[in-house]
């Protein structure tokens, strides 16, 4: 029995791997904001934003297929915007009668739903490139360097570290359950009893995991306080950005600003 919970960072020597974490963090946040603020139906701008993401993927040596596969994990969350297909007024494309109600599938609703799906997909790709080309500790330092609130950075830091603790506790619980589930040896018969029994055991494991996590978290926090933790991310002095870094940062922000201005001039 094995639980694999690995750091998404993938070591490399690409251009993006060598780029300063502060520059990458600001550019990714700017990219996500630009994508979110782009008007609905600005398809040429979406294509240009996609080309920027694909270019960054090539520069990171992560592989286009890998990034697209990871980004597809966020697509089910887009289904939350599915009601827009029938609630946005506009030119009807399809009318579906359901008992006393009538659902009208509109072109404007389709455009808004597709825009939200594309925006989410592009934003997730940018975030994947950032976390897979930057160590998490450098991301925390970059957040503090650009004045992200200390409490928010501390929450990110503890959440990340505690995920590994939770994975370890789950592994212990699963190992304990496996050691108490006898194998009958009969073909087609699963160990561990009936479905109801397994459901009861799973519920007990969930409660046990909560209690263990709470107690473990309290012990970890006390240990951190004993070692001088005050909520601040400690690191060596961060070197100032070089001229090349400022050029990359300025050029990236300028390109994103031009794309957003172009979108509003044409589609607003």
Same domain for 98 and 226, yes or no, is: no
Same domain for 93 and 154, yes or no, is: no
Same domain for 157 and 141, yes or no, is: no
d(CA 62, CA 52): 15
Q: Domain count of the chain?
A: 2
Same domain for 6 and 95, yes or no, is: yes
Same domain for 209 and 194, yes or no, is: yes
Same domain for 106 and 17, yes or no, is: yes
d(CA 42, CA 35): 10
Same domain for 45 and 120, yes or no, is: yes
Q: Which domain holds residue 221?
A: 149-182+190-235
pLDDT of residue 186: 59
pLDDT by position in tens, the chain (length 268): 444 456 677 888 888 888 889 999 999 999 999 999 999 888 999 999 999 999 999 998 888 888 888 888 777 878 787 777 777 777 777 777 776 677 777 878 888 888 888 999 999 999 999 999 998 888 888 888 888 888 888 888 878 877 777 777 778 777 777 776 655 555 655 655 666 767 777 787 788 778 877 787 788 888 888 888 777 767 677 788 889 999 999 999 999 999 999 988 887 6
pTM: 0.78
Same domain for 257 and 142, yes or no, is: yes
Same domain for 197 and 243, yes or no, is: no
Same domain for 131 and 256, yes or no, is: yes
Same domain for 176 and 143, yes or no, is: no
Same domain for 62 and 172, yes or no, is: no
Q: Count H helices, E strands: the chain?
A: 10, 2
Q: Cα-atom radius of gyration of the chain, to the nearest Å?
A: 24
């Amino acid at each position: 029995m094995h639980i694999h919970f690995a750091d998404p960072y993938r070591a490399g020597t690409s251009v993006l791997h060598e780029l300063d974490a502060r520059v990458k963090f600001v550019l990714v946040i700017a990219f996500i904001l630009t994508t979110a603020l782009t008007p609905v139906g600005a398809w040429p701008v979406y294509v240009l934003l996609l080309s920027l993401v694909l270019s960054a993927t090539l520069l990171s040596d992560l592989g286009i297929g890998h990034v697209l596969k990871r980004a597809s994990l966020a697509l089910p969350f887009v289904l939350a915007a599915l009601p827009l297909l029938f609630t946005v007024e506009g030119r009807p494309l399809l009318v579906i009668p359901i008992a006393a109600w009538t659902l009208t599938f509109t072109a404007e609703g389709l455009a808004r739903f597709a825009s939200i799906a594309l925006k989410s997909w592009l934003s997730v790709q940018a975030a994947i490139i950032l976390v897979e080309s930057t160590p998490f500790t450098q991301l925390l330092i970059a957040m503090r360097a650009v004045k992200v609130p200390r409490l928010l950075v501390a929450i990110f830091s503890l959440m990340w570290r505690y995920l590994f603790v939770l994975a370890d506790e789950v592994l212990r619980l699963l190992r304990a359950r496996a050691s108490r589930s006898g194998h009958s040896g009969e073909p087609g018969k699963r160990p561990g009893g009936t479905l109801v029994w397994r459901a009861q055991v799973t519920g007990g494991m969930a409660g046990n995991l909560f209690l263990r996590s709470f107690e473990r978290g309290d012990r970890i926090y006390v240990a951190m306080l004993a070692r001088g933790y005050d909520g601040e991310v400690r690191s060596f002095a961060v070197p100032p950005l070089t001229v090349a870094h400022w050029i990359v940062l300025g050029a990236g922000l300028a390109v994103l600003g031009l794309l957003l201005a172009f979108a509003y001039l044409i589609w607003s």
